[in-house]
Amino acid sequence: MESSALIASVKTRARKWLEPSFDEDTRHAVEKLLAAANTEQLVDAFYKDLEFGTGGLRGIMGPGTNRMNIYTIGMATQGLCNYLLRSFPKGKKLQVVVTHDSRNNSRLFAQTTADIFSANGIRVFLTDDFRPTPELSFAIRELKCQSGVVITASHNPPAYNGYKVYWEDGGQIIAPHDREIIREVKSIQSVSEVKFKGNPSLIQIVGSELDHTYLNRILQMSLNTEAIQQHHDIGIVYTPLHGTGVKLIPEVLKKMGFTKILHVPEQDIPDGNFPTVTSPNPEEPEALTLAIKKASENNAELVLASDPDADRAGMAILNKSGSYTLLNGNQTGSILVYYLLSNLHAQNKLKGNEYIVRTVVSSAIFDEIATHFGVKTYTVLTGFKFIAEQVRKLEGREVFIGGGEESFGFMIGDFVRDKDAVSTCAFLAETAAWAKSRGQTLLELLEEIYLRFGLFQERLISVVKEGLSGSEEIAAIMDRLRNQPPESLDGSDVVTVNDFLKQVSYDQLSQLRYDIKLPKSNVLQFVTKDGIIFSARPSGTEPKIKFYISVRKKIQVRSEIPEATQELQDRIDRIIREEIPV
Q: What is the pLDDT of residues 198-232, one digit of tens each?
A: 999 999 999 999 999 999 999 999 999 999 999 99
pLDDT at 468: 75
The answer to whether 404 and 199 are in contact (CB under 8 A) is no
The answer to whether 277 and 220 are in contact (CB under 8 A) is no
pLDDT per position as a tens digit, 227-280:
999 999 999 999 999 999 999 999 999 999 999 999 999 999 999 999 999 999
In angstroms, rounded to a whole number, what is the distance separating the alpha carbons of residues 179 and 170? 18
CA-CA distances (angstroms) from residue 511 to 496, 507, 508, 518, 535? 10, 5, 5, 21, 20
Confidence at 582, pLDDT banded by 50, 70, 90? low
State the DSSP string of 451-486: HHH-EEEEEEEEEE--HHHHHHHHHHHHHHHHHS--
Question: Which residue in 102, 118, 137, 154 is the catalytic one?
Answer: 154
Best CA proximity match to 155, nearest among 302, 314, 294, 328? 314
- pLDDT above 90: residue 112: yes
Percent of the chain clearing pLDDT 90 (strictly above)? 92
> Rounded to the nearest 5 degrees, what angle is found at the Cα of 315, between the Cα atoms of 232 and 308?
105
The CATH homologous superfamily to which domain 214-453 belongs is Alpha-D-Glucose-1,6-Bisphosphate, subunit A, domain 3 (3.40.120.10)
- pLDDT above 80: residue 149: yes
The answer to whether 127 and 207 are in contact (CB under 8 A) is yes
pLDDT at 2: 64
Q: Which CATH architecture has domain 456-579?
A: 2-Layer Sandwich (3.30)
In angstroms, rounded to a whole number, what is the distance separating the alpha carbons of residues 282 and 316? 10
Residue 505 annotated to the active site: no
Best CA proximity match to 155, nearest among 268, 51, 283, 263? 283
Work out the average pLDDT over 421-431: 98
pTM, entire model: 0.94
The CATH homologous superfamily to which domain 68-206 belongs is Alpha-D-Glucose-1,6-Bisphosphate, subunit A, domain 3 (3.40.120.10)
pLDDT at 465: 86
Cβ-in-10-Å burial (0-12, 13-18, 19+) of 473 comes to middle
Alpha helices in 515-560 (DSSP H): none
Q: Within 13 Å and on the Cβ side, how many CA atoms surround 466? A: 5
The answer to whether 270 and 264 are in contact (CB under 8 A) is no
Backbone angles phi, psi at 547, to 5 degrees: -120, 130
Beta-ladder partners of 239:
305
- pLDDT above 80: residue 1: no
pLDDT per position as a tens digit, 49-87:
998 877 789 999 999 999 999 999 999 999 999 999 999
pLDDT at 251: 98
Beta-ladder partners of 304:
238, 315
pLDDT per position as a tens digit, 342-384:
999 999 999 999 999 999 999 999 999 999 999 999 999 998 9
- pLDDT above 60: residue 171: yes
In angstroms, rounded to a whole number, what is the distance separating the alpha carbons of residues 270 and 481? 42
pLDDT at 201: 98
Mean per-residue pLDDT over the chain, rounded: 95
In angstroms, rounded to a whole number, what is the distance separating the alpha carbons of residues 406 and 332? 9
pLDDT at 490: 95
In angstroms, rounded to a whole number, what is the distance separating the alpha carbons of residues 413 and 218? 9
Best CA proximity match to 237, nearest among 432, 423, 406, 418? 432
The answer to whether 411 and 418 are in contact (CB under 8 A) is yes
176 preceded by a cis bond (ω within 30 of 0): yes
Each residue of 350-370: b (16+ CB within 10 Å) or e? beeebbbbbbbbbbbbbbbbb
- pLDDT above 60: residue 302: yes
Alpha helices in 516-560 (DSSP H): none
In angstroms, rounded to a whole number, what is the distance separating the alpha carbons of residues 163 and 156? 13
